[in-house]
Amino acid sequence: MATSSRKTALTALSEVTENEGYSNIVIDKAIRAAELSPRDAALASTIFYGVLEKRLTLDFYIRKFLAKPKQKLDGTVLNILRIAVYQMMYLDRVPDSAAVNEAVLCAAEYRRGQYKNFVNGVLRSFTCGWHEVIIPEDDLSVRYNIPQPIIESFKKDYGETVCIDLLKAMSERAETYIRINPLKTTVDD
């Protein structure tokens, strides 16, 4: 059986992609329903929000390892693949073997396991070859995880150079700032 943090992330992703639920409400509800420990809840949230944030890039990489890249995938199977690929690409503390194993276990529980071998094959191929995949320089949508219509709007409104600067800035992690309430404490305290 797959661990509950990944299953919770899968449940929440399916809810967002199929029913267009609000992400923060969906993941909170899924975590409460699964009664996850704080550590597992943090992993579920990280995976959930990470997949949503990096979906365009994840889908690009997944398609590179399908026998038929244009084939339409079952939504749940695609989310299982996205979760595993996200962990392998962006989470340093999760071994690739664990990500693959958990994805195969999730696939085994879905539709009586009919996608289990498919998920295993795609992810085994991915682990061996994803570092060699190159995103084309001109594919800004995949590189920065921003939908093409927004990129076109930026180019039209600000020009190519400013558009790329905006995309780079949007893809970086924001700095964390702490503000002190002087009515309650001091900087030294």
73 shares its domain with 113? yes
Q: Tell me how far apart the alpha carbons of residues 44 and 7 are, in angstroms, rounded to a whole number.
A: 8
90 shares its domain with 33? yes
Q: Give the per-residue pLDDT at 163.
A: 93
* Residues 22-65: tens digit of each pLDDT: 898 999 999 999 999 999 999 999 999 999 999 999 999 999 99
74 shares its domain with 19? yes
* Residues 141-155: tens digit of each pLDDT: 999 999 999 999 999
123 shares its domain with 54? yes
152 shares its domain with 126? no
98 shares its domain with 163? no
Structure tokens of 162? 């400013």
* Residues 105-123: tens digit of each pLDDT: 999 998 888 899 999 999 9
10 shares its domain with 92? yes
CA distances (Å), origin 76, targets 14, 111, 115 = 6, 10, 10
Model confidence pTM above 0.85: yes
* Banded model confidence at residue 3, pLDDT cuts 50, 70, 90: low
Give the number of other Cβ atoms within 10 Å of residue 103's Cβ: 28
Average pLDDT on 86-92 reads 94
111 shares its domain with 146? no
122 shares its domain with 67? yes
Task: Please tell me the total count of domains within the chain.
Answer: 2
43 shares its domain with 127? yes
35 shares its domain with 71? yes
82 shares its domain with 144? no
For the CA atoms of 150, 152, 157, 160, the dihedral, rounded to the nearest 10 degrees, stands at: 120
* Residues 168-179: tens digit of each pLDDT: 998 888 788 888
In a domain, 178, yes or no: no
Among 104, 43, 47, residue whose Cα is nearest residue 77: 104
In a domain, 108, yes or no: yes
Could you tell me the residue range of the domain that residue 116 belongs to?
A: 4-132
